[in-house]
Amino acid sequence: MHLSFDDRLAEAEATFRAERYSEVLEQLARLMPESADHRAAQLLGEALLKLDMIGEAAEAFEHAGLRRPPEPYPLLSRAARLYLDAGRDDRALALAMQLHRHQPTDPAPAFILASIGLKTGNKALVDAVKNQLVDSDDAEHLKLAVRLIGEDLRNEKNLVLFSKLRVLHPDDPFIRMTLIGFAREFCDYPILLREEALLRAEIAAGDTRALAAETPHYNLMWCADEVQNRLAANVAGLVPFPADAPARRRAIPHTWGGKIRIGYLSNDFWADHATMRLMRSVLAAHDRAHFDITLYCHTPERFIGADDAARVQWGRIARIEAVDDIEAVAAIQRDGIDILVDLKGHTGGSRSRLMNAPVAPVHVAWLGFPGTGAGIDCDYVIGDRFVLPETSKPHYHEKFCRMPESYQPNDPWTRQIPTPSERRAYGLPPDRFVFSAFNSQRKNSPEGLALWAKVLVANPQALLWLMVDGTHARNATADFLRRAGVRSDQFIFAPKMPYSNHLARIPAADLGLDSFPYNGHTTTSDMLWAGLPVVTRKGSNFASRVSESLLNAIGLPELVAADDDDFVRLCTVLASDRNHVAVLKQAIADNRFVAPLFDAERFCRHLEQAYTHMVERAKAGLAPEHFDVPGLPPREVPFRTL
């Protein structure tokens, strides 16, 4: 009796279900030459897979896909994936490219192309397909997406990616805190409000485990509690120093020279970085007769190569970006540095882990990170009486070195002084009172935005000019403000701009509004330099007290509100009295070259006093202790003119 093709295929399928896979191969070897039906080739692929013959299975599925089945795409997609698993990348690449052309939004071929691109170093191929992985529900696809885009703060797809992962892994604290971080970057207030409420409830109940998965820098964006700030401990590559490490380091014999040898550690030694805009004139002002300055520079070459800064004026450059930590430590030790100053702390690109080696008798933290460097071996943190009050001492392992005026240096020579701007150039109405908020949008917390909304509701004729970029971020910000009772004609978005253009637009506003709980730092000093008064409120940790420090250093302590209600009241008083605002602007102009805030030379002399005191204690074998740097007499003659 002659059996039909379908009957013989059914027999082979029954044999497959009986798990006699080698026998299936024999049956199909007789059957397949007789018919072009794709089903036999597909069954062959399944049997070969069971026998762990992956490459041969890929060929079978490809053969099935080419036999014109009703839906060839799934078979060819499976073949391409099996070619990848078998290490036959050339065939996987060719087939995946073909599939990608026909189904450009399908994450399956995108996964294959991205995997091969990673393996071969083909960045263009990876970049072309990586975002499509986010649209998948396949865990392996999402895992690769995290690897490819999960650290890209500019990629909005991460909101989708980590929202999916949050559902798939609800108990994973890293995924949770990463989602919150991206929600900040793109101003996704529904996510922030939901997740922050959950966090606060957990913390109130005594459960602080989630904080251990948060980076210290992102923790400051929403949390102004110094106890909780110390618990944010997700710092890649940092092994906290043992409790006895500082004492052992200080006990190492050290040869002191005639000059004090200062080393600064950073990857920000290029002219257009915010840190160098602040401190370049201080570096240049160091007294070379008494101080040797070395910059331990791990700045990426792409910044240095395009930079026109005369870095030699800042100090001797010791490039360590291409060496590992062991070599970098050895280089610093060979130089006999007396004080090593970490300018990064818990911020991006930091190599603060070098501070946990015995590189110098005195280790200092300054400027980069506004808080304690938990896990980093520093003897002192440089601050001032505003950012580091007495109440903060229990929350720091570092001893306080408090500058007499402000901890923040400023460069008064390379910033241009803007002239009054035409409002129409920025789409601003000529007659309305304009509040401005120009901090990075990640600092526009729900708490801060709600406070600005109260100001706008209390001042219906005023508007807010705020810097937010990106469609998602702008839509979310607008929705938040409208829900808080703000009319759509009361806010205008400002784009990011090159630094010189940004400075030039600042005078078009009437009054700056500070961000909370993470204040403006360089941004506040930029506004004051440009002649714009800024209203802030008192904070409860370093990051939330910076603007208070800066306003006192320029001579405008009256712009520091006591609390939220006082903030709204003060903004309302000023919005209704342009003459008062004009007086404040004139005070900034009068104080710019006399008050301490922008006096780089004065700051440098105070800093050198601090370094000298630290060295004298170390030479005497004394442990670090809190101290305040005494201030020089007030300046009577401007340090520069227009």
Tell me the average pLDDT across 295-310. Answer: 82
Tell me the average pLDDT across 411-434. Answer: 93
Does 314 score more than 80 pLDDT? Answer: yes
pLDDT band at 592 (very low <50, low <70, confident <90, very high): very high
Q: Helix, strand, coil: what percent of the chain each, to 5?
A: 50, 10, 40
Give the amino acid at 90. D
Instruction: Please state which architecture CATH assigns to domain 245-403.
Output: 3-Layer(aba) Sandwich (3.40)
pLDDT for res 2: 72
Decide: residue 213, CB within 10 A, 0-12 exposed, 13-18 middle, 19+ buried.
Answer: middle
| Distance of alpha carbon 140 from alpha carbon 112, whole angstroms | 11
Does 219 score more than 70 pLDDT? Answer: yes
| Distance of alpha carbon 227 from alpha carbon 394, whole angstroms | 9
Give the amino acid at 442. R
| Distance of alpha carbon 8 from alpha carbon 15, whole angstroms | 11
Task: Give CA separation, 440 vs 285, 466, 505, 573, in Å.
Answer: 30, 10, 16, 27
| Distance of alpha carbon 340 from alpha carbon 105, whole angstroms | 52
pLDDT for res 37: 86
pLDDT for res 32: 86
5-149 against 423-591: fold identical: no
Tell me the average pLDDT across 257-274. Answer: 95
**C-alpha 148: how far from its chain's center?**
17
pLDDT for res 540: 98
Q: Average pLDDT over the chain, rounded to whole? A: 96
pLDDT for res 321: 95
Q: Please check whether residue 427 is in contact with residue 508, taking contact to mean a CB–CB distance below 8 angstroms.
A: no
Spatial CA neighbour of 409 closest among 240, 565, 268, 596: 596
pLDDT for res 131: 95
pLDDT for res 274: 92
Q: What angle do CA 340, 544, 612 make, to 5 degrees?
A: 25
Element (H, E) at 112: helix 107-120
Domain locations along the chain:
5-149, 157-214, 245-403, 423-591
Lowest mean pLDDT among 271-285, 298-312, 528-542: 298-312
pLDDT for res 302: 86
Element (H, E) at 302: helix 301-305
Spatial CA neighbour of 591 closest among 524, 632, 536, 640: 640
- CATH class, domain 5-149, is mainly alpha
pLDDT for res 310: 75
Tell me the average pLDDT across 488-494. Answer: 98
Predicted TM-score (pTM) of the model is: 0.91
pLDDT band at 68 (very low <50, low <70, confident <90, very high): confident
Q: What is the pLDDT of residues 141-179, one digit of tens each?
A: 999 999 999 989 999 999 999 999 999 999 999 999 999
Q: What is the pLDDT of residues 13-66, one digit of tens each?
A: 999 999 999 999 999 998 888 778 899 999 999 999 999 999 999 999 999 998
Q: Please check whether residue 246 is in contact with residue 379, taking contact to mean a CB–CB distance below 8 angstroms.
A: yes
Q: What is the pLDDT of residues 553-562, one digit of tens each?
A: 999 999 999 9
Does 606 score more than 90 pLDDT? Answer: yes
Does 236 score more than 70 pLDDT? Answer: yes
pLDDT for res 1: 55
pLDDT for res 70: 83
Q: What is the pLDDT of residues 239-265, one digit of tens each?
A: 999 999 999 999 999 999 999 999 999
Domain 423-591 adopts which CATH fold? Rossmann fold (3.40.50)
pLDDT for res 490: 99
pLDDT band at 309 (very low <50, low <70, confident <90, very high): low
pLDDT for res 308: 62
pLDDT for res 512: 99
Could you tell me the two tokens for 563? Answer: 């609390």
